[in-house]
Structure 1
Amino acid sequence: MDIRRLPNTEPLPMDLLLEADPLEELVRAYAAFGYCYIAEDKGERLGTYVLVPLNKTTIEIKNIALATSARGKGYGKELLKHALAEAQRLCYETVEIGTGNSSINQLAFYQKLGFRMVSIDRDFFVRHYPEPIFENGIQCRDMIRLEYKISPL
């Protein structure tokens, strides 16, 4: 799998980005301020992520998604590790990520890779999304915020 930063001249992989965030308007807004990366293998798009700087020391993974055909093969772990390495290369100290209260698998995945829960933005998904979101039989209401502290080079 090869991961590369998408140049501004190349269209966003909206099909993948919308897997992780169903509002195209929001995806386009944060992607405009961040760096989009694409994972490919032999011309097939496997996954994507978007890094958005929050301040001089903190960057956020705003979106990370895999194609359905790429799930369960370790690509998500590779993609997340690449995002952490890229944040370190860009000289950030902290990487943040947010996910829904109903995203049970993602919460476990991020913690297994060293992320720690730091806050809850209550009713985030109720305030920002016009339609209710359900996952794992649970309404996605709250944003769980996690962070990863990068070791200095």
Structure 2
Amino acid sequence: MEIRRINEAYPIELLLQADPSKKLIQQYLERGKCYIGEEGGEIIGVFVLLSTRPETVELVNIAIEEHYRGKGFGKALVIGAINMAKEQGYKVIELGTGNSSIDQLALYQKCGFRIVGVDIDFFTAHYEEEIIENGIPCVDMIRLRQLL
């Protein structure tokens, strides 16, 4: 898979698979850097890196097209994001995911992230519609971090 930065024509439908809020996506696209993963010229994944503090970047959205899931592309994108952050001189990469995002929590920890906190009621405070994943209400944001 080839990973490259894009500056326009963002794959909004793919970004919406990881974050159902168009408003929040637009906000972080304006401040962050969007990267796509391509296989055979087809966009199969996307992630956004957003500088949050000196030497710290946040992975705010990562998504893989459904028919490519479970084949290692998600892990390749996370590793790609980590490598991009290192190349850009960051010392810390952070991310947040829903308490109900069981597969994502496992993936991030396999890629070296560690749980560092919980933002209680994040999703109920920032999203108008209820989010349910794996039969679990998505209420809290689990915060993870990796030192680079």
TM-score, structure 1 normalization: 0.95
Which stretches in structure 1 are left out of the alignment for 5+ residues? none
Q: Which moved more, 1:68-77 or 1:58-67?
A: 68-77
Structure 2 counterpart of 1:105 = 103
Which stretches in structure 2 are left out of the alignment for 5+ residues? none
Fraction of identical pairs, as percent: 51
Runs of 4+ in 1 over 4 A off after TM superposition: none
**CA drift at 1:76:** 0.6
Matching residue's letter, 1:146: L
SS of the residue corresponding to residue 50 of structure 1 reads strand
Structure 1 counterpart of 2:31 = 33
Structure 2 counterpart of 1:2 = 2
Alignment of 1:4-153 (within 5 A): 4-7=4-7, 10-150=8-148
What is the alpha-carbon root mean square deviation over aligned residues?
0.7
Matching residue's letter, 1:132: E
Matching residue's letter, 1:46: I
TM-score, structure 2 normalization: 0.98
Distance in 2 between the 1:46 and 1:117 partners?
27
